[in-house]
């Protein structure tokens, strides 16, 4: 779809909200709680963002995007270049973090992870279902939608701002020590999600759910530049140390299909003709790794890769 930025506002000093509307005012595809869309940002990078407001009759989608300090172009270009009137390519909503029916829910958010949790809380509240929310952030003024969450959830909301509490972390063990009938939904930094995984190992199978957009370190401090050779044309593309193969191809004017861009979906799989691959995806089977690469995250171990492109 091609959607237009019709509104944007600063939620915090780091987080900007964008409203994306259909060009012809047609109703957009359904967005269930926990759903996300993939946006081709002004830099050309594709990024996944959770939708803030669920609904079956939508003329627009709303996302909240944090400006990441180590941004490779996605969040930075949205903050700097996606002004009102900008038209963006957007995929239809997908949902790998669905809210189940009927059961009570414990929603846990850390930082920008509040976006799908806010969506779920709206749905649960509208249905009159039993739920509670734990929302953790460094400071209250860095917490997006904190006032909306207070109004929506009332006493069901527990806020924890670590820097305002002497840098103390929320004690999830006391909360999760005894399994309940609740299903737990968690979205936030890797550290938060690893902690929740660690303290819920004794909970019933299928009761713990996570939203994880970045399962791998795409760029690492010790990464080096290398050359990709496109076998069909003979073109040679230099991939800088701070860019992925997919981004390097785009920088040179080549387009290649992609979706998640974090090594988890398999869309950008490509055959390798020569060279050793530093695999960083979570998709490929072991027997595929000698001849296949995921362009969005993996790199060359040496100075050169020849791809079947």
Q: Is 217 a residue whose pLDDT tops 80?
A: no
Q: Is 87 a residue whose pLDDT tops 70?
A: yes
What is the predicted pLDDT for the residue at 70?
64
Is 100 within the bounds of a domain?
no
What is the predicted pLDDT for the residue at 107?
98
Is 99 within the bounds of a domain?
no
What is the predicted pLDDT for the residue at 163?
85
Give yes or no: residues 204 and 263 share one domain: no
Give yes or no: residues 206 and 114 share one domain: yes
Enter the pTM of the model. Answer: 0.80
Give yes or no: residues 13 and 83 share one domain: yes
Tell me the pLDDT tens digit for each residue of 263-298.
877 889 999 999 999 999 888 989 999 999 999 999
Give yes or no: residues 195 and 109 share one domain: yes
Give yes or no: residues 40 and 84 share one domain: yes
CATH code, 40: 2.40.30.10
Give yes or no: residues 132 and 200 share one domain: yes
Is 220 within the bounds of a domain?
no
Supply the mean pLDDT for the chain. 92
Q: Residue 102: pLDDT band by 50, 70, 90 thresholds?
A: confident
What is the predicted pLDDT for the residue at 3?
96
Pairing of strands 46-50, 105-110: unpaired
Q: Is 72 a residue whose pLDDT tops 80?
A: no
- The CA-atom distances, in angstroms, between 308 and each of 20, 58, 105, 181 are 36, 41, 47, 51
CATH code, 205: 3.40.50.80
Is 98 within the bounds of a domain?
no
Tell me the pLDDT tens digit for each residue of 26-65.
899 999 999 999 998 998 888 889 999 988 878 999 999 9
Give yes or no: residues 193 and 256 share one domain: no
Tell me the pLDDT tens digit for each residue of 220-240.
888 999 999 999 999 999 999
**Structural domain ending residue among the three candidates 56, 90, 124:** 90
Give yes or no: residues 249 and 159 share one domain: no
Q: Is 66 a residue whose pLDDT tops 50?
A: yes
Give yes or no: residues 143 and 178 share one domain: yes
What is the predicted pLDDT for the residue at 21?
95
Instruction: Please give the tally of structural domains in the chain.
Output: 3
The parent domain of residue 150 ranges over 105-211
**Structural domain ending residue among the three candidates 153, 183, 211:** 211
What is the predicted pLDDT for the residue at 57?
78
Is 95 within the bounds of a domain?
no
Q: Residue 4: pLDDT band by 50, 70, 90 thresholds?
A: very high
Q: Is 215 a residue whose pLDDT tops 60?
A: no
CATH code, 298: 3.10.20.30
Give yes or no: residues 130 and 197 share one domain: yes
Tell me the pLDDT tens digit for each residue of 122-133.
999 999 999 999
Give yes or no: residues 121 and 196 share one domain: yes
Give yes or no: residues 65 and 117 share one domain: no
Percent of the chain with pLDDT over 70: 97
What is the predicted pLDDT for the residue at 260?
74
Q: Residue 308: pLDDT band by 50, 70, 90 thresholds?
A: very high
Is 38 within the bounds of a domain?
yes
**Structural domain ending residue among the three candidates 211, 240, 262:** 211
Is 62 within the bounds of a domain?
yes
Is 219 within the bounds of a domain?
no
């Amino acid at each position: 779809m091609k959607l237009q930025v019709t509104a944007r506002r600063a939620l915090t000093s780091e987080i900007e909200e964008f409203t994306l509307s259909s060009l012809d005012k047609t109703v957009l595809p359904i967005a269930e709680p926990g759903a996300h869309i993939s946006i081709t940002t002004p830099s050309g990078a594709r990024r996944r963002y959770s939708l803030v407001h669920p609904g079956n009759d939508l003329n627009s989608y709303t996302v909240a995007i944090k400006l990441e300090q180590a941004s490779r172009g996605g969040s930075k270009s949205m903050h700097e270049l996606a002004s009102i009137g900008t038209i963006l390519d957007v995929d239809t909503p997908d949902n790998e973090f669905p809210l189940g029916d009927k059961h009570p829910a414990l929603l846990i958010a850390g930082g920008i992870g509040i976006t799908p949790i806010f969506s779920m809380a709206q749905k649960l509240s509208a249905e009159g279902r039993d739920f509670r929310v734990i929302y953790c952030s460094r400071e209250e003024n860095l917490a997006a939608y904190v006032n909306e969450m207070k109004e929506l959830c009332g006493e069901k909301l527990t806020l924890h701002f670590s820097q305002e509490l002497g840098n103390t972390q929320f004690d999830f063990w006391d909360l999760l020590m005894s399994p309940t009938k609740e299903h737990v939904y968690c979205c936030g930094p890797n550290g938060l999600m690893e902690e929740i995984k660690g303290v819920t190992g004794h909970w019933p199978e299928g009761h713990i759910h996570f939203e994880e957009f970045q399962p791998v370190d795409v760029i690492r401090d010790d990464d080096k530049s290398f050359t990709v050779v496109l076998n069909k044309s003979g073109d040679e593309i230099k991939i800088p140390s701070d860019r992925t193969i997919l981004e390097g191809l785009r920088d040179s004017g080549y387009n290649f299909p992609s979706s998640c861009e974090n090594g988890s979906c398999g869309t950008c799989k490509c055959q390798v003709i020569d060279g050793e691959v530093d695999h960083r995806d979570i998709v490929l089977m072991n027997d595929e790794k000698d001849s296949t690469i995921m362009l969005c995250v993996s790199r060359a171990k040496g100075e050169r890769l020849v791809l079947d492109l």
